[in-house]
A and B are shown apart, each in its own frame.
Chain A
Amino acid sequence: MNDSLMKRLVLGAGAPVAAVAFAVGLSSIVLLLSGSNPFSAYGDMIENASRLETFVDILNEATPLYISAVAAAIGFRMNLFNIGVEGQYLLAAFFAAAAGGYFAGLPPVLHVSLILIVAMFVGAFWAGLAGALKVTRGINEVISTIMLNFIAVGGIIAWLIREWADDTGATNSGTTPIDESGQMPSLNGIVEIFTREISKGRELTSVLLIAIIVGVAYHLFINRTRVGFDFRASGFNPLAARAGGVPPKRMVMYAMLISGACAGLVGMAEVLTERYKYDQSFIQGLGFNGIAVALLGRNNPAGIAIGALLFGFLNQSSGILQITGSATPEIVEIMKGIIVLSAVIAYEAVSRIKERDEAKSAAEATERQAPAEPEEVLA
């Protein structure tokens, strides 16, 4: 028993570790070819990360990535590919910021809750459209969510941001900034209890707490609830799930709505603790990076957390490389891409090994448990 547990742990942890090792190796080769020293580059990256301020930055970056990855993972568990997280979070952030800016002087809890609820609602709605298209018309959700991404950003936001802009004519027009009552505090106070003072105006976003809540909720939902079981069953085998009573169309809608609601929260760190409004320079790309993190973390709440931290670390590293010049900062982008691709390949290879192993041990068990051969009947 202990033997197989060890084996499973090794196999389970082995794949992502192997993927990262492979990515590091390949990237080192690329660095060498381009004339940089991989070791000084990695050294700079690690040294940078060990500073408290950088660590705060990493957590700040990881927070929205985590939420984005969970949003994507919810879909992935059901073999639904919600590539629209990008459009959903931007649209949600826009409307949430607009709503937040519109109301001033509300009690803080109410104000913040309003913003969060608007964000989740808009995200859910936009994802729900794609879900509806899938269940009513059978339209592949990859294409529909991507189309909706463009419509959201190039159409709806482009239109409304000028209608509702705070100062029309400014090159970076945005929504009305949110009042203090709608801003969430930073966690620096709590962190500084354990460490020294955090300098340079870095604030650890309290949306981190929301991310943690999202992660816990995701785990409980998917692994412990009955609806979560339905979800996973649909992901494993939609036909068997249907024969087992799981309503297929309703499941798709639930998945898209929940995924969209989660996606809506992705931009909340920017809106509630960084920028306090939505404008043309609002952070982009969190949707696609979130999908990458979900793939890396294998749709598992803990794995996603590690993946988000890893990506946060890599993003921060590109900044330090810019400064020290030990390698070109773009190497980070390549590393991200290689890690994701090698991870998904490694996961597949590992699961095939596991399958073979399981089949063997089950077959052996069958042999051992077989009743003794009946005596030959004499002719």
Chain B
Amino acid sequence: MTAAIELIGITKRFPGVIANDNVNLTVQRGEIHAICGENGAGKSTLMKMLYGMQSPDEGRMLIDGEEVRLSSPSDAIERGIGMVHQHFMLADQLTVLENVILGSEPTKGMGRIDFKAARSHFAEVGESYGLTIDPDDLVETLEVGERQRVEIIKVLFRGAQILILDEPTAVLVPQEVEELFRNMRDLKENGATILFIDHKLQEVLEIADSITVLRQGKTIATVDPKDVTAGDLAELMVGSELPTPETTDSTVTDEVALFVDGVTVLDDDDRPVVDDVSLSIRRGEIVGIAGVEGNGQHELVSAIIGTMDPKAGTVSLNGDDIAHWSVRERREAGVAYVPQDRHVEGLLLNAPLWENAALGHQTEAPYSKGIWIDRPGSRGKTETIRKSYDVRTPNVDVSAHALSGGNQQKLILGREITSDPKLLIASHPTRGIDVGAQAAVWDHLRRARADGLATLLISADRDELIGLSDTIVVMFHGKLVATLDPADVTPRVLGAYMTGAVLDDKAAS
């Protein structure tokens, strides 16, 4: 039987790195096929080539037995391939319908959009797959799960028979993941072939018919989920056991470093996006905040670091209420910050590394002396950070954008921790970096904790949260809804709090 997809010898190179190295992949029609690998293994690049967003340097692609050359998404779409991206490709200010029909608008004469035809086709697609969304809603009003459904409708609207899902569960909680898997099985029944990227091994084992593992751009193996365990997959992905962040002896002291009391932050419409939140972090403790993105974690962090002003409440750092201090004052008082998006809030991409190391600390030695910037001092300090945090770069004059994500993150972590802070806010500290850098980051965080640092950790990676935190709190709709002990929390319970489900006594025990 002709396979739906056959990739033979696909190779793709970028300056300095081989993203895909002689990759071979076969997907049967009507199959749910998972692609696994850690960050940087080449999964996204491979899928992008299948969707026409990149072209392979070598190799052949066959769709339904026919060799194809896809030079743009339109080619892929014409072949019945549709892609749901990890970061949704939706325009907030346009309606759902506009987002869905874009690029394949039904028209009638003079390029006029035939809205009637569009709506009826939209309704058809929605009905056959049980995906209900109002086409006239503005996308910005939709929740995450709904947005994903729009993305799927977008793909089905064009009659895609082959669906590519890139890390679809990254933004979903367990209950929503189940919903997604139900949809996927329905689609499969209707004849679709599904390719999806996922690095959460339990999920992959649950839903996939077939799994292909990539590592460092090469195909390592294609296996049947019935024959393997998560541990086997992990080994294939990394070549050894996946490092897990393990807790060692408790280093928590009695001294409270950060005390957040009744903090409320309002959004532009005067609605509370952080609602009366209180928590405390002691020296030597890591407190982890769990929660689906968009439930107030970022705003809480902003209130603590000073980029947002709380409407009510106090934020005490070693006794001083810093709630209305400027960012600079807080930094000088010892608040360190690893932002969730290093490109947006963490780095000056076009500036050399040593200036990036000074960012956030430029008012203090060794980065400045009086009103002047201390160049030798800054460069020296940056060299120190480079060595102790293993930042791979030819020198400290290179612009920050030239470094890989992992090295950028190590630099940021290094500059923050070596500034001798009283409090470290680490927001998604290992997002989008390779496993080696991830392990290094965890190591540094643990060591800092052992040295007595108080850390606030925000993470979407449940393993990271559970492995690193001494205490876990859950945020939902701006409120702190639970305080949990990582030693006895289960993903199910955590997920329930994260989605605001009322926890049944029976389920808890």
Contacts and interface: CB of A to CB of B under 8 A. Distances in A.
Interface of A: 224-230, 232-233, 236-237, 239-247, 355-356, 358-367, 369-370, 374, 376-377, 379
B361 to A, nearest CB: 8
Interface in B347-388: 347-351, 355, 358-363, 368, 371-373
Interface residues of B, number: 46
Most chain A beta-carbon neighbours within 10 Å: one of B339, B359, B372, B407: B359
Interface string B50-83: 0000000000000000000000000000000000
Given A229-B355, A358-B398, A365 B392 contact: yes
Contact of A236 (B339, B350, B368, B392): B350
Contact of B360 (A245, A247, A361): A245
B372 A226 contact: yes
A245 B407 contact: no
Nearest to A230: B362
Contacts of B348: 233, 236-237, 240-241
B345 A355 contact: no
B327 A229 contact: no
B326 A247 contact: yes
Contacts of A233: 348, 351, 355, 359, 362
Contacts of B90: none
Interface of B: 15-17, 235, 239-241, 305, 307, 326-328, 330-332, 337, 339, 344-351, 355, 358-363, 368, 371-373, 392-394, 398-399, 401-404, 407
B331 A245 contact: yes
Most chain B beta-carbon neighbours within 10 Å: one of A226, A230, A242, A377: A226
Nearest to B326: A247
Contacts of A236: 348-351
Nearest to A226: B368
Given A229-B355, A244-B360, A355-B401, A377 B239 contact: yes
A7 to B, nearest CB: 14
A237 B347 CA distance: 8
Given A239-B345, A364-B16, A359 B402 contact: yes
A359 B362 contact: no
* Secondary structure class of chain A's binding surface, majority of residues: helix
B328 A247 contact: yes
A146 B240 CA distance: 64
Contacts of A376: 239-240
Nearest to B16: A363
Contact of A226 (B240, B305, B363): B363
Nearest to A359: B402
A135 B274 CA distance: 26
The 4 A-B pairs with the shortest beta carbon distances in the complex, nearest first, are A363-B16, A245-B328, A362-B402, A244-B360
5 contacts: A243-B307, A243-B345, A244-B362, A365-B394, A379-B235
A356 B402 CA distance: 8
Given A233-B348, A364-B16, A377-B240, A243 B398 contact: no
A158 to B, nearest CB: 42
A245 B332 CA distance: 9
Contacts of B393: 362, 365-366
B392 A369 contact: yes
Given A225-B373, A247-B328, A361 B349 contact: no
B344 A240 contact: yes
Nearest to A356: B15
A359 B15 contact: yes
A239 B339 CA distance: 11
A245 B371 CA distance: 16
B328 A241 contact: no
Contacts of A237: 344, 347-349
A243 B360 contact: yes
Given A243-B346, A245-B331, A245-B362, A363 B404 contact: yes
B16 A362 contact: yes
